[in-house]
Chain A
Amino acid sequence: METFIQQLINGITLGGLYALIALGYTMVYGVIQLINFAHGEFFAAGGYMGVIMLSFFTGLGYMDTHPILCLAAAFVLAMGYCAFLAVGVEKVAYKPLRRQSRLAALLSALGMSIFLSNGMMVTQGVYDKAYPGELFQGGVNFGMIRIGYLQMTIVGMTIVLLFGLNLLVFKTKIGMAMRATAQDKVMSSLVSISSNRIISLTFAIGAGLAAAAGIMVGLYYGSVRYDMGFLPGIKAFAAAVLGGIGNITGAMLGGLIIGMVEIFGAGYISGQYKDVFAFIILISVLYFKPTGIMGENIDDTRV
């Protein structure tokens, strides 16, 4: 029983991270019907910016005096950086191809993903980059169950971000404009919503969330690597599909489920094959219920 609860907590932590990445996929897909292959790279770039900023602050000595402030600054800067990166990528690689075939856009995204991950390799080195330690050591014990402070921070941060996104999308004018663009680009542009600006904004928000997930993964596992974006990217995509692609609540739920399945699968079935479970879910969802658990009906051209 203790193991079960412990695994449940680990699953929630991981699932929250997948949910943050999955949101970027689902929002971009909702607006321009493109699988943004480079999204995993935004996540990795976020992890790198986190480690760069945190070690910079450590080098300056601020880390010992104001750890929380430094961490907050690192989060803000990394999220800003990735939003900046994503808007650039969108303008260069996706915008000119919006009227071309889907295959062209997909291959351009693939090329961008290879370019970005190798760009990180060239600038930051091939080897793992370690996060400065000593952050959030320790935790709380409830009997046999142990919750690390870091895990609490990750879950708390994830909840805050998800809540903020929900507010943004469902309660503000900008969110309304985003939903309108996702529904009908022509009609929304007729009521003077600039679809270009909304698309850029969507990319920026998605990449910002992925960057936050990148830092938290870096803190959680202790290091980042240039190719770390690939697998979480695909798993998060599986989460987005599971929740019904284009659906924000669905992506959160899907991420949570994928994280749980991975942790429980690794714990109770086989640790070696933990990466396979997400793929199996992805394939069976697409086979049996391509609209996902929360998705609306989509015509067969999209499946």
Chain B
Amino acid sequence: MIHEFKKVWKPYTIGLLWLLGLLWPMLGIHPDGTLTFDETFTAWGYIAIGTSICLLLYILNKSGSLDAVSRPLAGLRDTVGQASGKVPNWVWIIVLLAFAFLYPFFTGRYAQDVATNVLIYICLGLGLNIVVGLAGMLDLGYIAFYGVGAYTYALLNIHFGMSFWICLPIAAALAMIAGSLIGYPTLRMRGDYLAIVTLGFGEIVRIILNNWMSLTNGPNGILGIKAPSMYIPSFENGFSLEVLYLKKLHYLYYVALLLAIITVISVRHLNFSRIGRAWESIREDETAAELMGVNTFKLKLLAYAMGALFAGLAGAFFCARMRFVSPESFTFLESAMVLSMVVLGGMGSIPGIILGAAALIVLPEVFREFETYRMLVFGMSMVVMMLFRPAGLIPAKRMGKRGEG
């Protein structure tokens, strides 16, 4: 333990002092010409205590002093893991589905709202997973397709009164077309360049939505979009069909659940099909994949289009749920959010991304009181995650070493 500690304490102390030096000018220099130290030291003290505890636990764990606690825990985890491994997968899926179906019956409005959000982000995360996780192309402008889907439904509904269910495939198709249009010129690029160009495209879409006043009503957004509707039989005066707008939260929750289930099934099928394998071969080594007869150009374009499709679906639903859209919802930060779900959960792993989406939506809701610090913690945890567990919470089974964006 002493040895471990010796290795770490020096950089750690330097780091803390460095932080103090960075923090004080921001907090301690005031425009009235005074210098204060209390505030800085309080904030710094909290950070120092928190990180010291984490570091101490880390060192203790590494040197084996915590074995008395961690060994039984690890044993317990192993037995639980083995027991759950014996139960076939379909049992878990049924349990999960049953939970998802029964969820609105024992939760309130707020919990349903959060759950609907999680489901939307599952669609988005799995769609982005096709591009980033399977085909290995880093896309930082993914939210643009979400915006295309949302605005498609909003405009068709406002101007032509078209219903949600008809607009859903149209939104998906338009998002796919947008995906191909954006994908086409960027396919020659790889890695960082691709990332920055997709970011540029995402911003262009947002700026256009923001400025095309006659079509999108600019930053004011579009109001008065109808919720999804359904025909239900009514027997009051004989037999007739009545339109029921699914405005209630639990109806919307079920629509989102339906979309999420469709997304999970299709992404799973894509993943384990010939196309999915081809995508993965492109991710691992594009040149080798091309040599083996994979049409890399077509498949990369297809990856873009398929990824955009699910974003389009999610976007149309998002718009129908909020009954309002504005360009505010499609900023770069949203793209970063979806991307971090994919990365946090584990690229290419479907259960991982579901977990990642749930974690990134639910945790900030739990810590609502610390709203100001939310994005601060989010950014830092992204860095920490990359430092200590770059493969994600549930890493994908088929992932080579060369997978880089």
Contacts and interface: CB of A to CB of B under 8 A. Distances in A.
A and B pair up:
yes
Interface of A: 34-35, 48-49, 52-53, 55-61, 77, 81, 84-85, 88, 91-93, 96-97, 100-108, 110-116, 118-124, 230, 234, 237-238, 241, 272-273, 275-276, 279-280, 282-283, 286-287, 290, 300-303
* 9 residue pairs, one from A and one from B, having the closest CB atoms: A111-B382, A59-B33, A115-B379, A114-B379, A55-B31, A103-B405, A279-B200, A101-B404, A60-B33
A112 B380 CA distance: 6
A106 to B, nearest CB: 6
Contacts, number: 169
7 contacts: A58-B33, A84-B18, A115-B383, A124-B26, A272-B211, A283-B186, A283-B200
A106 B30 CA distance: 35
B382 A275 contact: no
A75 B113 CA distance: 49
Contacts of A230: 332
A58 B21 CA distance: 23
B201 A283 contact: yes
Contact of B138 (A52, A81, A106, A301): A106
A48 B25 CA distance: 10
Contacts of B170: none
Interface in B176-215: 185-186, 188-193, 195-197, 199-201, 203-204, 207-208, 211
Contacts of A303: 188-190, 193
A103 to B, nearest CB: 4
Interface string B278-294: 00000000000000000
B13 interface: no
Nearest to A61: B33
A278 to B, nearest CB: 8
Contact of A120 (B26, B138, B190, B340): B26
A301 B190 contact: yes
Interface residues of B, number: 58
B27 interface: yes
B383 A118 contact: no
B386 A276 contact: no
A225 to B, nearest CB: 15
Contact of A102 (B373, B382, B405): B405
Contacts of A61: 33
Contacts of A234: 196, 199-200, 203
B29 interface: yes
B252 interface: no
A292 B101 CA distance: 55
Given A103-B404, A111-B379, 12 more contacts: A58-B31, A60-B33, A81-B25, A100-B386, A112-B379, A115-B376, A118-B375, A237-B196, A272-B211, A279-B201, A282-B196, A283-B185
A102 B191 contact: yes
Contacts of B295: none
Contacts of A104: 386, 390
A110 B336 CA distance: 8
Interface of B: 15, 18-19, 21-23, 25-27, 29-34, 138, 185-186, 188-193, 195-197, 199-201, 203-204, 207-208, 211, 332-333, 336, 339-340, 343, 372-373, 375-376, 378-383, 385-387, 390, 403-405
B219 to A, nearest CB: 11
A100 to B, nearest CB: 6
A116 B383 CA distance: 12
Contact of B379 (A56, A116, A275): A116
Nearest to B211: A272
A238 B200 CA distance: 9
Most chain B CB atoms below 10 A, which of A35, A114, A238: A114
A85 B22 CA distance: 7
Nearest to B210: A272
A77 B29 CA distance: 13
A110 B138 contact: no
Contact of A114 (B19, B207, B211, B382): B382
A267 to B, nearest CB: 17
Nearest to A282: B200
B375 A59 contact: no
Contact of B207 (A35, A48, A241, A276): A276
A102 B378 CA distance: 21
Given A110-B336, A286-B189, A84 B22 contact: yes
A115 B19 CA distance: 14
B379 A106 contact: no
B27 A111 contact: no
A105 B373 CA distance: 23
Contacts of B31: 52, 55-56, 58-59
B305 to A, nearest CB: 19
A73 B188 CA distance: 47
Nearest to B206: A275
Most chain A CB atoms below 10 A, which of B199, B332, B382: B382
Nearest to B35: A56
Contacts of B208: 273, 276
A301 B190 CA distance: 7
B252 to A, nearest CB: 30
A273 B208 CA distance: 8
Contact of B383 (A100, A111, A279): A111
Nearest to A112: B383
